[in-house]
Structure 1
Amino acid sequence: MSNASLILIDSGRALSERKAAGAREGAKILTASSLGSCLVFVSSAIAAVALAAIGRDMHLSPLDLQWVMNAELLPLAALTMVAGALGDRYGQKRIFLTGVALYGLGAAVIGFAPSFAPLIVGRFVQGLGEALILPNGLSVLGQAFPADKKARAVGIWSAAAAVASGVAPAIAGAILDHGSWRTTFLMLLPMVVGALAVGAAWIPKDSPTSHARIDVGGAVLSTVGLGGLGAGLTSLTNGSDLNLWVFVTLIVGLGGLFGFIANERRLGDNAAMLPPSLFTSRSVVGANLFTALLYGAFTVMLTLIPFVMIRGAHLPTLVAGLAFVPLQVLIAVVSPLAGMLCRRFGRRLPLFAGGSVVALGCAISLRIDSNATYWAHIFPPVLLLALGMSLAIAPLTTLVLTSVEPDRAGTAAGVNSAVSRAGSLFAIALLGGVLQQGGPQLFSGFHMAMAAASVACVLATLAVFIIEPGPHVDYIPRD
């Protein structure tokens, strides 16, 4: 899954920092933060392109293929919010570099994995590293610049991430056409070494806040809840009956999520990683429901289109790697213009338009079959997906940041980012009926998944009406 459209949501933490320390070495800090954070935006894109080759080489079942993707998404969805508190408690530089090191360890384990179990462990460790990298890399960035320069710094950070997430799958596709999928993960190791060296040298040492609260219970319960539900749904979509294993995993997952909600309510706003008061706002509820539905559909497209291009239409892997370059370009070009639409038409219309265009892209992808060519069949839905996400994501990010008090904006952005990953995780968990097919049946399952994704986008547009009506308010970071 490409993470390009997550860039604006994730960048909210940097924009929302209230204390900005002026830094002469700001350019160095920006470079270090960008280099480490770019790692997050390339791994899932590479995995999506390499998925068919991994399955073929290791003789993996559809259930296994789903966990190749979700083993990374699970820690991202469950632990991103608590990772920011870890940085506050133990130092953002230390946690950021720890995340980069874990990411590198995971990539190495994946590259040399002799079987499925080490492969999944490597993907989980990689996702754990990503969960530590993003919030702390952005906090480091936010503290390095005064308020009037933060937006420009985050813009450069976002551009670097977009370029990385666009170039990496293309390089991976070229490697896969002439070599092993393992090389696509091992090529990340020089980047990891560079990010560690630059981060250690250029990010200044920060002062941890020893009294920062770590919601360990919330982190454990959210991981158990998401993991249990993900495992149960994954088994069901691979043809399993409601046997004891599936029943237990679903019960454990639901119990974990209910326990998580009860734990957050007990801890209250000052200690919980998911402050309950955030969800007293209609706009926050509507924005997060919109996010979960839209990103679920988005992930289905970004995972399945390269898979069917390679396995079903037998297009070159390089072409699959290049398939979503328009996504990166349009998000970079159109997203700033979406702010103009917000100011002219208010907060709801751009989100409604974006969700509707993505729904149309999902519907048009029903034309993709075994005779598909890129320009006639793949490019049109990709173009609509890119245009729709470009219209929606910048207004969504601004809405999330402006629907709460300024001192809660970073938390709101973290919650919204976690919700997007949770939506992606459950979407992947429901794809077993597609990944287990071959030949004409592959496209039958693909078309059903695209129809379901289109329905999810329609539901996302309806969720827009939960959001409180009113004029768009630009987010202005404050000291």
Structure 2
Amino acid sequence: MGAAAVGFAPSLAPLIIDRFLQSLGEAVILPNSLCVLGRAFSADKKARAVGIWSAAAAVASGVAPAIEGAILDQGSWRTTFLMLLHVSASALAVGAVWIPKAPPPGHAWVDVGGAVVSTVGLGALAAGLTSLTNGSRPNLWVLVTLIAGLGCLVGLIVTQRRLGDSAMLSPSLFAPRSVVGANLFTALLYGSLTVMLTLIPFVMIRGAHLSTLVAGLAFIPLQVLITVVSPLAGMLCRRFGRRWPLFAGGAVVASGCTMALRIGPNATYWADIFPSILLVALGMSLAIAPLTTLVLTSVEADRAGIASGVNSAVSRGASLFAIALLGGVLQQGGPQLFSGFHMAMKVASVGCVLPTLAVFIIKPGSHVDFIPPD
């Protein structure tokens, strides 16, 4: 429904509203799909199931940019959204047939206030940061949005502690240190990854003057490696424990961001861009499935959906702030574009080193179905 509305949006304001509607649907699907996996598989099979889930997601996210690049070269951007109608309808049909029915849930308190306050807070902070990085001076609008955003997030923390287990973000959910470590790792890694995923195609098109189709195909190696390596997540977790696949993944992604410093105005894909993407692909393929498995297995089985939802929100929030901080770079052209791009890659590289330190917050050992609070 949201995709169809975006495809027919007559102007910017309806487009933003329709994208918000589309995002609501996506926000419901992701944590619930992981919750189904968490309940359907035992501890010894859960990591492999999550690996296959990650591989399927990688295939989809690898094919989509390539198709969209071809469409943008030949047709309208609206077509890229309208084609989602057939995909969504197929997904609904498959889900209705294959996903087992769960027992009727009991009465559950929905923390609507927490959801509204968190949305307003994140949105206000993103708006303020975007204005600052676009070259705006700290005017009244910027100050108001930043103060309102910070105030909402502080208020959210206070109210969530007061509500306890009835809160959207129950404090007891973060009692296991592995949950804290996993979410910190997620925020740092996905924020840095978003910088690369956003800027490299932009620089390829605007700076190196490569085609939209080539930019759409650029990250195919990322999806291929994730598809191949993710089903091995169970073996990685059993062989190396909870920490080391994540440590290695963050370190390799950091080296990929550093390799991107080679990209310049005369860059070619295979010689200058592909080596960086290959390293990022290898690092993410090592980290994604073990990280998702860690999130699901660090809490009780009946809280797996909440834990995966929080982790998904953390990754999206990190991506939101990363994009908000890129406004100044995205406005540049010529030598200034590459100067800003290289600075962003240096920051992203440091941002990927920090998750390798965050893994030591995670409780050592192999994955199990439930780890009691530390």
How far residue 207 of structure 1 moved from its aligned partner, in angstroms, is 5.9
- Residue from 289, 311, 314 that aligns with 2:209: 314
- CA deviation after TM superposition for structure 1 residue 220, in Å: 0.7
Structure 2 CA distance, aligned partners of 1:364 and 1:260?
39
* 401 and 209 in structure 1: CA distance in 2 versus 1, 3 angstrom threshold: closer
1:285 to 166, 180, 190: 180
Question: Cα distance 1:140–1:458, how it changes in 2: closer, same or farther (>3 A)?
Answer: closer
Q: Counterpart of 1:256?
A: 152
The corresponding residue for 1:181 is: 77
Query: Shift in Å at residue 397 of structure 1?
Result: 2.3
Aligned to 1:418: 313
Match status 1:126 vs 2:22: yes
Superposed displacement of residue 273, structure 1: 1.8
Q: Contact between 1:293 and 1:457, CA under 8 Å: does it hold in 2?
A: yes
Q: How far is the alpha carbon of 1:474 from its aligned partner?
A: 4.5
TM-score, normalised to structure 2, is 0.90
Conserved in 1, the CA contact under 8 Å of 2:50 and 2:231?
no
| AA in 1 matched with 2:12 | F
Shift of 1:171: 0.8
Q: What corresponds to 2:293 in structure 1?
A: 398
**Is this contact kept in 1: 2:55–2:231, CA < 8 A?**
no
Supply the AA of the counterpart residue of 1:243: N
- Are the structure 2 counterparts of residues 201 and 397 from structure 1 closer, same or farther at C-alpha, using a change threshold of 3 Å? closer
User: In the alignment, what sits opposite 1:109?
Assistant: 5
Aligned length: 370
Aligned to 1:381: 276
Residue pair 2:51, 2:234 contacting (<8 A) in 1 also = no
Relative to structure 1, the CA distance from residue 130 to residue 315 in structure 2 (aligned partners, 3 Å threshold; closer, same or farther) is same
Could you tell me the TM-score, scaled by structure 1's length? 0.71
Match of 1:231 among 127, 141, 145: 127
Residue aligned with 2:365, SS = coil
Give the Å deviation of 1:134.
Answer: 2.4
Q: 1:403 to 1:160 in 2, by over 3 A?
A: closer
Distance 1:446 1:222, change over 3 A: same
**Corresponding position of 1:161:** 57
One-letter code aligned to 1:333 = V
What is the 5 A alignment of 1:13-412? 105-139=1-35, 145=40, 147=42, 157-196=53-92, 208-209=104-105, 211-269=107-165, 271-412=166-307
Q: Which runs of 5+ in 2 are unaligned?
A: none
Instruction: Quote the offset at 1:378 in angstroms.
Output: 1.2
Is the Cα–Cα contact under 8 Å of residues 343 and 471 in structure 1 kept in the other structure?
Answer: no
The question of whether the paired residues in 2 share the 8 Å contact of 1:107 and 1:186 is answered with: yes
Of 313, 318, 338, which residue of structure 2 is paired with 1:443?
338
8 A contact 1:217–1:263 mirrored in 2: no
Cα distance in 2 for residues equivalent to 1:429 and 1:395: 28
Measured against aligned partners, the alpha-carbon deviations of 1:265-317 in whole angstroms (never above 9, x if no partner) come to 11112x11211023233322222111101000011111111111111111111
Q: CA deviation at 1:372?
A: 1.0
Measure the CA separation in 2 of the matches of 1:140 and 1:368: 42
Name the structure 2 match of 1:25.
none
The code of the aligned residue for 1:426 comes to F
CA RMSD of aligned residues (A): 2.6
User: Percent of pairs identical after alignment?
Assistant: 78
Write the distance in 1 (CA, Å) between the matches of 2:17 and 2:179: 34
SS of the aligned residue for 1:287 comes to helix
Residue type of the alignment partner of 2:208: A
Which segment drifts farther, 428-437 or 210-219? 210-219
Residues 242 and 282 of structure 1: is their aligned pair in 2 closer, same or farther, counting only changes over 3 Å?
Answer: same
CA positional deviation for 1:400 = 2.4
Between the aligned partners of 1:475 and 1:343, the Cα distance in structure 2 is: 13
What amino acid is the match of 1:458?
Answer: V
Does residue 472 of the first structure (1) align with residue 366 of the second (2)? yes
Distance in 2, Cα, partners of 1:351 & 1:158: 15
Instruction: State the 1:339 CA deviation.
Output: 4.3
Seen in structure 2, the aligned counterparts of structure 1 residues 405 and 198 have a Cα distance that, compared at 3 Å, is closer
Aligned to 2:252, what secondary structure does the other structure show? helix
CA contact (8 A) 1:338 1:390 kept: no
* Alignment deviations for residues 223-267 of structure 1 (CA, whole Å, 9 cap, x no partner): 011111111111111111111111111111111111111121111
Inter-CA distance 304–146: structure 2 relative to 1 (3 Å threshold): closer
Find the aligned partners of 1:106 and 1:303 in 2 and give their Cα distance: 23
Structure 1's 177 and 366: CA in aligned 2 closer, same or farther, altered over 3 A?
Answer: same
Q: Could you tell me how far apart the structure 1 residues matched to 2:287 and 2:59 are?
A: 20
Q: Which residue of 1 aligns with 2:324?
A: 429
Verify the 8 A CA contact 2:249 2:285 in the aligned structure 1.
yes
Instruction: Call closer, same or farther: CA 1:205–1:342 in 2, change over 3 Å.
Output: closer
SS at match of 1:268: helix
Counterpart-to-counterpart distance in 2, 1:174 and 1:380: 24
Shift of 1:200: 5.9
Provide the C-alpha distance between the structure 2 equivalents of 1:347 and 1:159, rounded to a whole number of angstroms. 20
Would you say the 8 A contact 1:327–1:385 is kept in 2? yes
Give deviations 1:348-368, integer Å, cap 9, x for gaps: 222221111111100110111
8 Å CA contact retained: 1:106, 1:121: no
